[in-house]
Structure 1
Amino acid sequence: MKKILFACGGTAGHINPALSVATIIRRQHPEIQIRFAGNPDGMEARLVPKAGFEFVPFRSMGIQRKLTPYNIYRNVKSVLLLMTAEGRARKVLREFEPDVVMGTGGYVSGPLLLAASHLGIPTLTHEQNAFPGVTTKLLSKHVTKVLLAVEAAKKHLDPNGTYEVVGNPVRPEILTADRAASRKALGVKEDQFCLLSFGGSLGAQRVNEAVADVMAWHAPLGSIHHIHATGQYGVELLPRLLEERKVEYKNNPNFDIREYIDDMPACLAAADLVICRAGASTLSELQAAGRASILIPSPNVAENHQYHNAMVLVEHNAARVLEEKDLTGESLTELVRQLLSDRQLTRTLGENAKKMAVTDAAERIAGEVLELMGR
């Protein structure tokens, strides 16, 4: 029996692409045994079994750069786990005996892919960002092949490595969502400009503060339907900010304010303009949906990779970028105002984003895994 081990974890951006690829392989080749390795405390421990795949725990932690008493404790624990990682990884591999090991990111990927490489097992890793992380840079010297989301990442990696540009997997629902039906379901009027904004599942205070000023600007106009996700930490913050600005948002059909967007395919289909961070998966969905965007890269990520992600779209005239150091209510409002008043520019940004989309990334990655297995 052929076997594949996926190593991933930490964030949905690492886990969901792996699940998309594994689902395609399972559909095409139900005889192949698929297993996932990830942190027992991570969201992968919940999402993987829910998707119907085997899960084996492999504990791994990253080093925290900001030195607080708690982070120092975490770093000591991380070092101890790192010291035993090779032996624990070999144990997982020998017990399962995979034909291929595929990594899609997270702290768990590095030790398992390195151990597999040392054992002579064919390996693949997928880098989602335009600026690769430290783990991918290290792995590029050891794995059989590195799969890239964008061509721009290649220049930052070992020139002797083997690379293939395959894009980032996106949910099929993003591609099939109907614009007219979505706008009707969300209560967007036919002549309204639909603005979608979010700063991540936890929420970003700076984004919420700037969006509150945008809402205060367009509330009297009535021409904008605004869908905004506050995130966990913005649930109480945003209403307070709106009340300070005397914005009548309660029972206002032009405001759709919620903690989290759980119907993203419909919201993207309905939107004319999106304000958001620049995570790799988010940008791939913007491209697949063909949506204009104002990108606010998070400065609190490794290697400032969100800025590099955003600049790939900017260079293709597919988005506008507003760095957080320049983010104010005034600067964001002015950008929205410009794009609202120039609908042709907004459409052009969306069309250019659409041209960048790779809509069959999961199929491409599945093909790479199966090809390596056959080889």
Structure 2
Amino acid sequence: MKVILAGGGTGGHIYPAVAIARGILEKYEKADILFIGTEKGMESSIIPREGFPFRKIKVRGFMRKMTFENVIAVKENLLSLIECRRIIKSFKPDIVIGTGGYVCGTMLMTAALSGIPTLIHEQNAFPGITNRILSRFVDKIALTFPEASDYFHSKYKISVTGNPLRGEITTIGKDDGMAAFGFDEKKPLLLIIGGSRGAKKINESIMLIAADCEKNREFQLLHMTGESQYESVISLYKKKGIPYNTSYLKVMPYIHNAPYALAAADLIISRCGAGLISEITALGKPSILIPYPYATDNHQEYNARALEKYGAANVILESGLNEDLLFSQVKKLFSNPDKMKDMALNSKRLGKPNAASDIVEAIETLLN
């Protein structure tokens, strides 16, 4: 089997593509896989590090207002169609798969018009513009959230597969997660994920929670600040006299062994990117979700509301976020084990830990 995977720009588009590639290789050990991306996107460093062949094409997205940049974009995208045609002609793929980002546009369109089987995967509850356009041309549409189907016309193409996860997510136990960070297995753990680049409002709104953790020791706290905000957050802890590196409270700029942190957590406060949401639900974790207000098309709020609708998460918009509100929600949940259990069960019901293998099945259906 020869497969082209196109996707890029952010990790939310890249890591699902990697998970799909690994799912293919698990079943077809000799599969030949080629990734397509851009030089400026994160994929240019991530994909080679993951050990896959990678080819760059020059393509860019359009601005949402009339600018000269759009003239340049038209030129580059037309040229990229020619380059995509060359890649397809030389590689001769059996199928072309897109996981989002404007790099998918020309690659998937070229493949579709060339009569090659095509599949797109949409991670978010509110689909991106590229996938909405491509949906009319491709053969199969795989979705993370069933709510996304409202935005696609060709319902017969749709399969709700979930979002492909890194393999270790569902194999690590809670005890292993607690031991990895030196936490007490007898007390609940609150995991706060400020984002890889940080989330200023979230980081500033957890000080009452941290102070209560220090004073009463009823729960434990693992706080990832994001590397860019670590120093400023540590300054806040110092200013308020809260220890930030103890057996029960740990502040880190970035959690490199994230699967262990997620496995250990009893409650999670985080943003609402599709990848993290998929991991939370695959593990059946209750959460308090705070959408990034400037996400494209407000897709993070759509993701969060999809969990809230089924009682798996509480949602707080950043415009209404403050220390008192966040502290109140955490205390209410930790003091109500039955509510936490219900949220965990609802979260687990939404999880799709076999997404990668389901997408491989969809690929096989197309090819057969």
TM-score above 0.5: yes
* CA deviation string 1:201-256 (max 9, x = no partner): 1011111111233213332112221111111221111012222323233x432221
Distance 1:321 1:86 in 2: 42
- Determine the structure 2 residue equivalent to 1:22: 21
In the alignment, does 2:168 pair up with 1:169?
no
In the alignment, does 2:360 pair up with 1:361?
no
- Determine the structure 2 residue equivalent to 1:149: 144
Pairs within 5 Å for 1:106-117: 106-117=101-112
SS of the residue 1:262 aligns to: coil
Deviation, 1:328, is: 0.9
Deviation, 1:171, is: 2.0
In the alignment, does 2:200 pair up with 1:191?
no
Question: Would you say the 8 A contact 2:149–2:155 is kept in 1?
Answer: no
Pairs within 5 Å for 1:71-82: 77-82=72-77
In the alignment, does 2:49 pair up with 1:54?
no
Q: TM-score, normalized by length of structure 2?
A: 0.94
Distance 2:254 2:65 in 1: 28
Deviates more, 1:190-199 or 1:311-320: 190-199
In the alignment, does 2:209 pair up with 1:214?
yes
Deviation, 1:161, is: 5.7
From the superposition, tell whether residues 361 and 181 of structure 1 become closer, same or farther in structure 2 (CA, over 3 Å).
same
* CA deviation string 1:70-124 (max 9, x = no partner): xx78666544423423222222222222121100112211111011111111110
- Determine the structure 2 residue equivalent to 1:317: 311
Distance 1:23 1:280 in 2: 19
- Determine the structure 2 residue equivalent to 1:294: 288
In the alignment, does 2:330 pair up with 1:336?
yes
Which residue among 258, 264, 269 is the counterpart of 2:258?
264
- Determine the structure 1 residue equivalent to 2:278: 284
Question: Structure 1: which amino acid aligns with 2:336?
Answer: D
Question: Structure 2: which amino acid aligns with 1:270?
Answer: A
- Determine the structure 1 residue equivalent to 2:246: 252
Q: TM-score, normalized by length of structure 1?
A: 0.92
- Determine the structure 1 residue equivalent to 2:4: 5
Distance 2:43 2:342 in 1: 38
**Gaps (5+ residues) in structure 1?**
none
Question: Structure 1: which amino acid aligns with 2:21?
Answer: A
Question: Structure 1: which amino acid aligns with 2:237?
Answer: L
Deviates more, 1:74-83 or 1:313-322: 74-83
Deviation, 1:173, is: 1.4
SS of the residue 1:274 aligns to: strand
Question: Structure 1: which amino acid aligns with 2:128?
Answer: G
SS of the residue 1:143 aligns to: coil
Question: Structure 2: which amino acid aligns with 1:288?
Answer: A
Question: Structure 2: which amino acid aligns with 1:360?
Answer: N
Question: Would you say the 8 A contact 1:194–1:272 is kept in 2?
Answer: yes
Deviation, 1:65, is: 5.3
Deviation, 1:318, is: 0.6
The runs of at least 4 consecutive aligned structure 1 residues that moved more than 3 Å come to: 63-67, 72-80
Question: Structure 2: which amino acid aligns with 1:359?
Answer: P
Deviation, 1:172, is: 2.4
- Determine the structure 2 residue equivalent to 1:118: 113
Distance 1:355 1:294 in 2: 17
From the superposition, tell whether residues 346 and 53 of structure 1 become closer, same or farther in structure 2 (CA, over 3 Å).
same
Question: Structure 1: which amino acid aligns with 2:197?
Answer: L
Question: Structure 2: which amino acid aligns with 1:177?
Answer: I
- Determine the structure 2 residue equivalent to 1:36: 35
Deviates more, 1:214-223 or 1:77-86: 77-86
- Superposition RMSD in Å: 2.0
Task: Give aligned pairs, total.
Answer: 368
From the superposition, tell whether residues 187 and 32 of structure 1 become closer, same or farther in structure 2 (CA, over 3 Å).
closer
Which residue among 94, 99, 105 is the counterpart of 1:104?
99
Percent identity, aligned pairs only, is 36
Question: Would you say the 8 A contact 2:37–2:56 is kept in 1?
Answer: yes
Question: Would you say the 8 A contact 2:135–2:154 is kept in 1?
Answer: no
